Amino acid sequence: MARLGEAGSAVIHNPAFEIARAPESVLRERIDGLAAFDAVIVTSPVAARLIAERAIVPGMRDVGFFAPGKGTASLLHAAGLRCRFPVSGGTSEHILAMRELAEVDGARIVIVGAPGGRGLLASALDRRGADVEVMHVYRRQPLSPTPALISALRKRHDLVVLISSRQAFSIITDALGKELSPGWLDSRFVVSSGRLERVCRDAGVSRICTAAGAADEQMLAAARKAGWARDQGFGGGF
């Protein structure tokens, strides 16, 4: 948001949900249990912070952690945990393409995050023979669209939407309803993956630019390449 503002763009921040972490007793039990796995895939910065703040169990530092990107991995590194991430891209496909996850027959792997995401990881690793568990350490509570986004859509502003979450896209689209969703779907979308692009196209979005990943610089680079970096307004769902 700061970078776009510095470039002269009017920016709308529209978070689609807020984070509700699991009760502390549940977090403690689940995160302590990570030491029993061969590999831990941490799917978001939120999950990484929750783990890093509680990574004190003996043996935790012997576990191989994986993350979608450098930012999430850095939170785990700071807690003394070994974490790898894809060289380029941060989608589930990029994680699954990592050499360390190619031969996982019989390995115990846990995917840590929130309900509603990364289903491809679990199904693909299961097919490779891994014993896969999914661990939820927080959940996403939907939020109503912000007054700024509603106002921009009612005024028919030609928005550029930077969005990296399929769940966020669905929450916002459903909440806008029949009156405003046509204007939302007619916006120009910068998305973080081919899978999210397909979701948006299936919903009726026609103007889409796909970034190399969800990192800020990757999303901004895609917006610049499309010539959309200095337009009337930006909306984001994260």
Q: 46 and 136 share a domain? A: yes
Ramachandran area for residue 23 (φ above 0: left; ψ -120 to 50: alpha; else beta): beta
**Single residue among 140, 162, 179 that ends a domain in this structure:** 140
Question: Residue 31 belongs to what domain range?
Answer: 19-140
Nearest to 157 by CA among 166, 165, 145, 149: 149
- pLDDT by residue, tens only, the chain of 238 residues: 888 888 788 899 999 999 999 999 999 999 999 999 999 999 999 999 999 999 888 889 899 999 998 999 999 999 999 999 998 878 888 999 999 999 999 999 999 999 977 788 999 999 999 999 999 999 999 999 999 999 999 999 999 999 998 889 999 999 999 999 999 999 999 999 898 999 999 999 999 999 988 888 889 999 999 998 764 456 555 4
pLDDT in tens, 2-41: 888 887 888 999 999 999 999 999 999 999 999 999 999 9
Between CA 132 and CA 111 the distance in angstroms is: 8
126 and 97 belong to one structural domain: yes
Tokens standing for residue 4: 């776009």
Query: In this structure, are 32 and 136 located in the same domain?
Result: yes
Integer-rounded Cα Rg, in Å, for the chain is 19
Run of H or E residues at 25: helix 24-32
Q: Which residue is it, tokens 């199904």?
A: 123
Residue 23 CB: number of other CB atoms within 10 A?
A: 8
By the 8 A CB rule, do 1 and 13 touch?
yes
The structural domain count of the chain equals 2
Domain limit, last residue, from 125, 140, 155? 140
Q: What is the pTM of this model?
A: 0.78
The number of beta carbons lying within 10 Å of the beta carbon of residue 108 is 14
Q: Judge contact between 179 and 207, C-beta under 8 A.
A: no
Question: Given this model, what pLDDT does residue 233 score?
Answer: 56
